[in-house]
Amino acid sequence: MKKLILFSLCLPLLSTVISGQVRIKKDNNKDTQKKETKKDAQSPPLKTETIFIPPMLNTKYDFSNVKICIDKSNNYDPGPRLSKAYPEIPKLNSNGQLEPQVIRQKLTAETNKMWPNESEITVAFAPNQTTNFVIEKVKQYAREWEKVANISFSFITDWKNAHVKVSFIKGGSWSWMGREVLNNPTEQTTMNFGWFDDNTPDNEFSRVVIHEFGHALGFIHEHQAAGARINWDVEKVYAYFAKINWSRDDVDRNIFNKYSQNSTNGSSYDKASIMHYFFPEGLTTDKSAFSNNTELSPLDKLYARVLYPFPPKPPPVTGVLNTGDDCDAIKFIVEYNVLPGNFIEFSLEPGVDNSGKVVIWWKQIGIPFKGGAENKDLQLLADGKTTRVTILREMIDETRGFSFAKAKFLGVHTGLGFTWKVWEALPGGCRVRFIWQNDHCY
Ligand SMILES: [Zn+2]
């Protein structure tokens, strides 16, 4: 009866008892001994599957009946995270002037297991261990992170060179942490899914895949975060996990021990996090209930964006430039992050002046290029057609501004002696539209 209760509480989605067993070869590395836990006297006979676990990856459990994830760490410290910071884009006033810059507070603490922002993380699957259906489900739910974190997963067939190496050995589900996978000289599996098959429901794929790929991004178990507030009924927890053959030490390490505030960058404690275990009721002194989290929580999404930020996307800015000549009025509209980040697009469009007349005839806006040249393709001619120019952002000479010219008398083209130099506010990826709205005084 007790065993039945245990399974029904611990394994809410268990439909079949998994009989696979993970065998861990003992290594003679001296660091191994203190972490080796115990031989599970009640284990079923070992099957032939063998995972060689490198010296530091030696936490050993009987996973055979457990559908919770165990943190695996090779204790590799990849060093400080080199993260790309996005500078704040200075704001343009409606008169085309730069607004004074506002200083914003930046994130201070970052876990050093995280990837540099914008990383492309390669993932390979061990061949012939599962079905295409399961692999496609793993890809599908791993990509949930791409929607909320500025990283991408690239699924490749080259096991040797893949960062994340995924196996489907019956037993436990687990993952190494973030950039620990960079230290994997013997090309070991870094992530395992122990109970997926073609009958696995979608919410179980979602729950487990998002959780394990969360580890692969460096996210820790939320119930072990520095800010976790759980009033454990300690002896009941030990007793509960003893039924799946965890020692008190195992429970300490996987349940009670918290990460240091100094090495992590957690948000406030989030019981709904995909990185939180499900716990049955009765293990806390305040009778807390824990939900079975199968998708990213709102705080997961929020803080994934904070820790793996996307480029800032300010709202479009609009205003009017006055060249000071003949009451010229040139409307500008700047849209951000509408192109690949190394390009910038300009357009010159006809406007409608105060008398309702469409402003055409010969106008030109010059874009300064490095080396002294000027791109003069932005022209508004008698046909009134909009012209567009897309160029590499790096070609622009930021020491000079846009130049403006128009035909004033008998078709003589005249530079207007007005320049506009606000390159700080015109980063790569933006589109700058000029609409020449007025070209004479009334
Ligand atoms: Zn986990």
CA 177 – ligand 1 centroid, Å: 9
Query: What pLDDT, on a 0 to 100 scale, did the predictor assign at position 234?
Result: 92
CA 290 – ligand 1 centroid, Å: 16
Smallest CA-to-CA distance from 226 within 269, 173, 192, 172 is with 269
How do residues 160-184 score in pLDDT, each as one tens digit?
999 999 999 988 888 998 898 999 9
Query: What pLDDT, on a 0 to 100 scale, did the predictor assign at position 283?
Result: 86
Mean pLDDT, the chain, rounded, equals 77
CA 43 – ligand 1 centroid, Å: 23
Confidence band for 114, pLDDT divided at 50, 70 and 90: confident
> In this predicted model, which residue has the larger pLDDT, 66 or 245?
245
> In this predicted model, which residue has the larger pLDDT, 206 or 60?
206
> In this predicted model, which residue has the larger pLDDT, 318 or 32?
318
Query: What pLDDT, on a 0 to 100 scale, did the predictor assign at position 265?
Result: 65
CA 208 – ligand 1 centroid, Å: 9
CA 190 – ligand 1 centroid, Å: 13
Query: What pLDDT, on a 0 to 100 scale, did the predictor assign at position 85?
Result: 64
Query: What pLDDT, on a 0 to 100 scale, did the predictor assign at position 438?
Result: 86
Distance, CA of 54 to CA of 58 (rounded, Å): 7
CA 70 – ligand 1 centroid, Å: 5
Lowest-confidence segment of 134-138, 250-254, 431-435 by average pLDDT: 250-254
User: CB 15: neighbour CB atoms within 10 A?
Assistant: 10
CA 149 – ligand 1 centroid, Å: 18
What's the average model confidence in pLDDT over 385-406?
A: 91
CA 174 – ligand 1 centroid, Å: 6
Query: What pLDDT, on a 0 to 100 scale, did the predictor assign at position 410?
Result: 66
Query: What pLDDT, on a 0 to 100 scale, did the predictor assign at position 246?
Result: 81
CA 222 – ligand 1 centroid, Å: 9
CA 233 – ligand 1 centroid, Å: 22
How do residues 412-421 score in pLDDT, each as one tens digit?
678 888 889 9
CA 228 – ligand 1 centroid, Å: 15
State in Å, rounded, how far the first CA of the chain is from the last one: 94
CA 254 – ligand 1 centroid, Å: 9
CA 73 – ligand 1 centroid, Å: 11
CA 335 – ligand 1 centroid, Å: 41
Sheet holding 152-155, edge to edge: 69-71, 173-175, 191-192, 164-167, 120-125, 152-155
How distant is the alpha carbon of residue 25 from its chain centre? 35
The answer, yes or no, to whether residue 34 has pLDDT greater than 70, is no
Domains and CATH numbers, the chain: 2-78+113-307 (3.40.390.10), 317-438 (no CATH)
CA 119 – ligand 1 centroid, Å: 22
Distance, CA of 199 to CA of 267 (rounded, Å): 35
CA 275 – ligand 1 centroid, Å: 6
CA 431 – ligand 1 centroid, Å: 43
The three-class DSSP label of residue 401 is coil
CA 171 – ligand 1 centroid, Å: 14
Query: What pLDDT, on a 0 to 100 scale, did the predictor assign at position 35?
Result: 34
The answer, yes or no, to whether residue 247 has pLDDT greater than 50, is yes
What's the average model confidence in pLDDT over 12-31?
A: 33
Confidence band for 54, pLDDT divided at 50, 70 and 90: very low
How do residues 58-82 score in pLDDT, each as one tens digit?
344 333 444 667 667 777 777 767 6
How do residues 314-359 score in pLDDT, each as one tens digit?
889 999 998 877 788 899 999 998 888 789 999 999 888 878 888 8
Query: What pLDDT, on a 0 to 100 scale, did the predictor assign at position 202?
Result: 96
CA 219 – ligand 1 centroid, Å: 9
Query: What pLDDT, on a 0 to 100 scale, did the predictor assign at position 68?
Result: 67
The answer, yes or no, to whether residue 431 has pLDDT greater than 90, is yes
